Chain A
Amino acid sequence: MEKLIELKNIHFISENFKILDDISLSFQTGKCSVIMGPSGCGKSALLKVIAGIYPPDEGSFLVKGEDFFKLNNKKLTAFRKNTGFVFQDSALWANLNIYQNLSLPLQFHYPGLSRKEIETRINMLVQKVNFTDSLQYRPAQLSTGERKVLSFLRAIITEPVVLFLDEPTDSVDFEFARILRDIIKDFKEKEATIVAVTHDASLISQIADQIIVLQKGKIVESDSFENIKKSDNPYVRTIFSQVLGEAASYDTDLLDLLDGSDKP
C-alpha cells in the first residue's frame, strides 16, 4: 500500500520547549492510525505536524514522497481539499455563524457550487447528526459538545479522503458520540486515511489499524493494533488500561477488552 504521509526525524519546538523529539512515522493510504499518550505528551502537536499545520523545526515531512513545504499552490490546495481536520477545542470561526462556518470551505474549494447546492449539502449534513439548532447562531451561542460536532461537520463537508481527528468524541454526549463514531466508521469503510488522537476505547476498537504511543514527545511504540494490544511494555499497558478505565487490568487480555468494547 502507498505511503501517503511520512515523517522523518521530526523535531518540534514551541516557546523554547521541545514538544516532539525525533519522530519518524509513516501513514499508509486507507489505513487508520490512532495516537495515544497522557495529556501534554505532544499528541495534538504531532497531529498538527502530520496535517501540515505546524512546520517542524527539524526533519522532513513528505506527502506522497514529495516535500510538503515545497509543494506548489495547486498541489497544496488539492491536499487541503482532500483533508479534514477536527480540532480538540473546535476552533470554529467565531465571527461567522454556523451556516457560514460550514459553507466557507465549500465556497473556497468548489467555487462553481450554487447557493442552493451549498444549502442542500449543509442541510443534509446537519440532519445526519440530528443537529436541530438554528444555523444562524454564532459558535459562542452553542454548547461545547455542539461546537465539537460542528467542527467535525466542517472537516467533512468537502468529503475528504484523509481525516485528522483530535479527540473527535471528547465532550460530546452519548448520542452525538455514537453518531460521530458511525460517520468515522463509514469513512473507514470507504478506505479513507484516518489519523486520530483519541482515548475513546469504542472508537479505537472500531477503526484502529495502527497505534502510536507517545511519551514526552517521543514514540514509545508504533505498531499494528493487533501487535500493540499484546505489548509487554508496561507504559503501553498503562495507557491502554487508562483508556479502558477500571475494566482493564494487567492480568486481563487487552485484546478481548478492546474487541468487545462498545462503550462510550
Chain B
Amino acid sequence: MIKMLGGLGRWLILKFKSVFYALGYFFQILKETLFFIQRKQVGFKVLIMQIYFTGVKALSIITFIALAMGAIIIIQGVTVFNQFGQGNLIYVILTTIITRELGPILTAFIIIARSGTAIATELGNMVVTHEIEAYVATGINPVSYLIVPRFLGVSLSLVFLTIYFNFVGLFGSYFITQLIKPVDFFTYFNSLLAVLKFEDILTSVIKSFVFGIIISTVATYHGLKVKVASTEVPQIVIKAVGHGFILCIVANVIITLLYYI
C-alpha cells in the first residue's frame, strides 16, 4: 500500500514538474515573441513560410469542408424548421453554429492534422540530427528563430482561416444549397445579416487565436522533447495531436461558457 502511494506521489510530482516546465516554455515563447520584430530577426522568412504552409496551403481543404458543413446545416435546418413553421430559425442556427462553434474548432482540427503534425515531426527530426544544437552553436536562439515564427504563423493563419471558413460556410454554401433546395437569394442574405452579431465574429476570432496559440505551443513543445532516436518522432506526433485536440476542446468550452456568463 505504502509502495503504491509512493508511486502515485512520484507520478504526481513528475506531472507537476512537466506542467511547470511547459508553462516556463510558453512564457519563453511569449518573451521571444515580444523581441521578434525589435531584433530584426532573420526568422522573418521562416514566419512567411509558416503562414504560407499553414494558411495559404490549407485554403482548399478549408473551402471544401466549410461549403459542405454550411450546405448540410442549411438543408437539414430548412427541412426540419419548416415542418414546425420556424423557417427563420435556420439563420440563427447557421450563424451560431458556423461562426461561434464549427468555424473555429473545425479549422483548428484541420490545422492540428496538417501543421501541428508537420511542425512536431520537423522539429523532432531536427533534434535527432543535431540541427537544433547547430543553431545553438551558431548563436541563433532556436526559440527565437524556429519556434516564434511557427507560433506567430500558426496563430495568425488560424484567425484568417477561421474568418475565411465562416465566410465560405455562411455565404458560399448558399450556392451549393441552390442545387438541392433552392432558397431565395435576398431572403437568405438579408435574414443572415440581420441575425449575425459583432459578438459572434469576435468570439470566433478570439477562439481561433487561442486555438492557434495552443496548437503551435503543443506541437513545438512535443517536437523539441524528442531526445535521441527517430523512433520517438511518431510517438511525440501522436501526443501532440492528442494534447492539441484536448486542449482546444477545453479552451472552446471555457470561452463558450464565458460568452454566456
Residue positions of A touching B, CB distance < 8 A: 15, 48, 51, 53, 76-77, 79-81, 83-85, 87, 89, 91-95, 104-105, 107-109, 111, 154-155, 164
B129 touches A83 (CB 8 A): no
Q: Are the CB atoms of A81 and B139 closer together than 8 Å?
A: yes
**In the complex, what's the smallest C-beta–C-beta distance from A148 to chain B, in angstroms?**
13
**B residues near A87, Cβ cutoff 8 Å:** 130, 133-134, 137
Which of A51, A80, A89, A105 contacts B130, CB < 8 Å?
A: A89
Residue of B nearest to A96 (CB): B131
Partner of B131, one of A51, A91, A111: A91
Contact across chains for A111 and B140 when beta carbons are under 8 A apart: no
Does B254 sit at the interface, judged by CB under 8 A? no
Hey, which chain A residues are within 8 Å of B40, CB to CB?
111
Is B199 among interface residues, defined by CB-CB distance under 8 A? Answer: no
- In the assembled complex, the Cα of A142 lies from the Cα of B227 at a distance in Å of 26
How many Å from the CB of B199 to the closest CB on chain A? 42
Which chain B residues lie closer than 8 Å to A104 at the CB level? 42, 138, 140
Using an 8 Å CB-CB cutoff, how does the interface string of B229-246 with A read, 1 for contact, 0 for none?
000000000000000000
**Are the C-beta atoms of B140 and A85 separated by less than 8 Å?**
no
Partner of A91 from the list B122, B129, B227, B228 (CB cut-off 8 Å) is B129
Least CB separation from A100: chain B residue: B45
Interface size on B, residues (CB 8 A): 18
B88-131: CB near A (< 8 Å → 1, else 0) gives 00000000000000000000000000000000001001100111
Residue B136 CB within 8 A of the other chain:
yes
- What residues on B are CB-neighbors of A95 within 8 Å? 122
Cα-based distance from A33 to B129 in the complex (angstroms): 26
Q: 1/0 per position for B217-232, CB-CB distance to A under 8 A?
A: 0000000000110000
| Nearest chain A CB to B143 CB, angstrom units | 13
- Bound-complex Cα distance A90 to B42 (A): 22
Interface residues in chain B, defined as those with a beta carbon under 8 Å from any beta carbon in chain A: 40, 42, 122, 125-126, 129-131, 133-140, 227-228
Chain A contacts for B130, CB-based, 8 A:
87, 89, 91
Q: For the complex formed, measure the closest distance between the CB of A11 and the CB atoms of chain B, giving whole angstroms.
A: 19
Q: Are A53 and B136 in contact (CB under 8 A)?
A: yes
Bound-complex Cα distance A242 to B112 (A): 52
Rounded to whole angstroms, the CA-CA distance of A111 and B43 in the bound complex is: 12
- Complex Cα spacing A108 to B130, Å: 19
Q: How far is the CA of A221 from the CA of B129 in the complex (A)?
A: 31
Q: Which residue of A lies closest to B41 (CB)?
A: A108
Contact residues in A for B133 (Cβ distance below 8 Å):
48, 53, 87, 91
Q: Which residue of A lies closest to B133 (CB)?
A: A53
- Taking CB atoms, residues of chain A closer than 8 Å to B138 are 80, 85, 104-105, 108, 154
Residue of B nearest to A77 (CB): B139
Q: Least Cβ distance of B25 to chain A in Å?
A: 16
**Please, which residue of chain A has its CB at the minimum distance from the CB of B122?**
A95
- The answer to whether A93 touches B137 (Cβ under 8 A) is no
CA–CA, A15 and B40, complex, Å: 37
- State how many angstroms separate the Cβ of A131 from the closest Cβ of chain B: 19
**Are A108 and B134 closer than 8 Å at their CB atoms?**
no
Question: Which residues from A are CB-within-8-Å of B129?
Answer: 89, 91, 94
- Are A15 and B137 within 8 A (Cβ)? no
B123 to chain A, nearest CB (A): 11
A48, B40: Cα distance in complex, Å: 29
Chain A residue at minimum C-beta to C-beta distance from B35: A73
The 13 listed contacts between A and B (C-beta, < 8 Å) are A51-B137, A53-B137, A79-B139, A83-B137, A85-B138, A87-B137, A91-B129, A91-B131, A92-B134, A93-B135, A94-B125, A108-B139, A111-B42
- Complex Cα spacing A48 to B137, Å: 9
Task: Give, as a whole number of angstroms, the nearest-CB distance from A128 to chain B.
Answer: 20
Q: Is A93 a contact partner of B228 (Cβ separation < 8 A)?
A: no
| 3 A-B pairs with least C-beta separation | A80-B139, A85-B137, A91-B130
The smallest C-beta distance from A159 to any residue of chain B, in angstroms, reads 14
Q: Which residue of A lies closest to B145 (CB)?
A: A108
Bound complex: CA A48 to CA B132 (Å): 13
Q: Which residues on A sit within 8 Å (CB–CB) of B125?
A: 94
Q: Which residues of A contact B140 (CB under 8 A)?
A: 104-105, 108
Q: Which residues from B are CB-within-8-Å of A91? A: 129-131, 133-134
B139 to chain A minimum Cβ distance, whole angstroms, is: 3
CA of A104 to CA of B228, assembled, Å: 25
Residue of A nearest to B132 (CB): A91
Taking the closest CB of chain B, its distance from the CB of A150, in whole angstroms, is 12
